[in-house]
Amino acid sequence: MTRTWLGGAANEPDHPFGVSTLPYGVVVTGGQPQPAVRIGDSALLLRPATEALLPEHAGLFAGGNLDAFLAAGHDSWVDVRTAVTGWLTDDAHRELLEPLLIPLAGLPAVLPFSVADYVDFYASEHHARNVGQIFRPDSDSLLPNWKHLPVGYHGRAGTVVVSGADVRRPRGQRKGAEGVEFGPSKSLDIEAEVGFVVGVGSSQGRPAPITDFTRHVFGVVLLNDWSARDIQAWEYVPLGPFLGKSFATSISAWITPLAALETARAPAVPREPAPLPYLDDTGDSWNLDLSIEVRLNGELISRPPFAAMYWTGAQMMAHMTVNGASLRTGDLFGSGTVSGPERDQRGSLLELSWGGSQPFTLSDGFARSYLADGDEVVMTATAPGPEGARIGIAEVRGRITSALDGTG
Ligand code: CA
């Protein structure tokens, strides 16, 4: 395994942020947000590092976020990753770089890029079938379009928040036994998802094909698509999710680049019927073998397997541009809830409690179907890396605070 001169955990083979991962984020030092790359439990400041060692790319890190780097494109992404890997593994750079390393413990997290458009898909067959059985027990669990296209909707980019931000319980309308009610959501849920971050945009009118996935998409984050099931159930027909989803979406503070996930690529799941040509990924699947873990108040409640997804991120990108819609730097698209075939692989409380009919009990003895005020949810993920290493996708963490008072 490739080793870094950093001491500590970064060289342990099962550390998810060893020298094979190197995700990008933003840290605040001296009151200033600065682009950084994560190694172990430290952040390397990229502006001073590139000014000293890679001056032709220093301009990409002069701002307070990763936007310029994302927009710079694939060749620049390769140049920087290659350079950073060399710096961290060659002892010759130690003296220069050590002062630019900052311990992550206690540092506030910052949203690493400006979120442009946010799209959310529904690409897990296990999740879609579970939800179909819970909400429509008397009809076919999959709707007729589901195996022909990655179903999705446009969400609210302005309420994407970084890991660690509290999430206030939303209020809204729901259908009660006596009629329409208004108040704090009584069925606040999580959705364990993988988010894809677009670096290079595309031109309006020109679809972005599957084969251009790595030209447009920079990397992945974990995404918790908080969902108020009672608000959602009342509002969603006929136009889909709206206020039940738009109050907050949490993402990791660090973006793991696709370049770190080559060893995590997995064969596509069998698909029947065969997808249309623009969705055909035969021989070039971007299915990813990510093992996700979901913890509620510290207890492991689910281990959703991303490799069980029906549609891949590359197919989602191809589908959302096939009509001529363009991509922009900073676009974020979520996979939809990741659920596997087993009970303990379900990525939402809706599924884990089977629509509230099977509450589960944590070690605090408190039975619940959905989130209580004060609950904290943490999602993490790892993937197989080179030479036995593990690749990490940074955690996404969020805690529920109580709803605003009042009814108006
Ligand atoms: Ca979702």
pLDDT of residue 12: 85
pLDDT of residue 30: 87
Q: Residue 238: how many CB atoms within 10 A of its CB?
A: 4
Distance (angstroms) between ligand 1 centre and the Cα of 122 equals 7
CA distance 92 to 365: 55
pLDDT of residue 255: 98
- Which amino acid, 268? A
Handedness of CA 15, 216, 397, 134 (dihedral sign): negative
263: Cα within 13 Å, side-chain hemisphere: 14
Residue 400 confidence class, pLDDT cut points 50, 70, 90: very high
CA 15 to chain centre: 20
Handedness of CA 399, 404, 407, 408 (dihedral sign): negative
Residue 74 confidence class, pLDDT cut points 50, 70, 90: very high
Q: What token pair was written down for 8?
A: 């500590």
Catalytic residue selected from 15, 57, 126, 127: 127
CA distance 132 to 287: 24
Residues 6+ apart with CB under 8 A from 89: 2, 3, 4, 5, 19
Distance (angstroms) between ligand 1 centre and the Cα of 241 equals 9
Cis peptide before 273 (omega within 30 of 0): yes
Mean pLDDT of 349-371: 93
All CATH 3.90.850.10 domain ranges of the chain, comma separated, are: 118-401
Least confident of 5-14, 129-138, 282-291, 341-350: 5-14
Distance (angstroms) between ligand 1 centre and the Cα of 29 equals 34
CA distance 218 to 330: 10
pLDDT at 407 over 70: no
Q: Which fold has domain 118-401?
A: Fumarylacetoacetate hydrolase; domain 2 (3.90.850)
CA distance 214 to 39: 23
pLDDT of residue 9: 81
Cis peptide before 238 (omega within 30 of 0): yes
Angle between helices 46-53 and 74-89 (to 10 degrees): 90
Distance (angstroms) between ligand 1 centre and the Cα of 366 equals 26
Residue 203 confidence class, pLDDT cut points 50, 70, 90: very high
Residue 215 confidence class, pLDDT cut points 50, 70, 90: very high
Mean pLDDT of 61-72: 98
127 is catalytic: yes
All CATH 2.30.30.230 domain ranges of the chain, comma separated, are: 8-103
Distance (angstroms) between ligand 1 centre and the Cα of 166 equals 19
pLDDT at 406 over 80: no
Mean pLDDT of 41-68: 97
All residues with CB under 5 Å from ion ligand 1: 120, 191, 225
Mean pLDDT of 390-396: 97
Mean pLDDT of 351-371: 92
Distance (angstroms) between ligand 1 centre and the Cα of 332 equals 12
**pLDDT tens across 131-144, in order?**
999 988 998 989 99
CATH 3.10.180.10 holds for 8-103: no
**pLDDT tens across 86-134, in order?**
999 999 999 999 999 999 998 988 999 999 999 999 999 999 999 999 9
Question: How far from 278 is each of 129, 270, 314, 318, CA to CA, in Å?
Answer: 25, 17, 11, 7
Distance (angstroms) between ligand 1 centre and the Cα of 352 equals 16
Distance (angstroms) between ligand 1 centre and the Cα of 151 equals 11
Average pLDDT over all residues of the chain: 96
**pLDDT tens across 259-303, in order?**
999 999 999 999 999 999 999 999 999 999 999 999 999 999 999
DSSP letters along 341-386, please? SSGGG-SSHHHHTTTTTS-EE-TTS-EESSPPTT-EEEEEEEEE-G
Mean pLDDT of 228-242: 95
**Could you tell me how many residues make up the chain?**
408
pLDDT of residue 408: 54
CA distance 380 to 392: 8
Distance (angstroms) between ligand 1 centre and the Cα of 283 equals 28
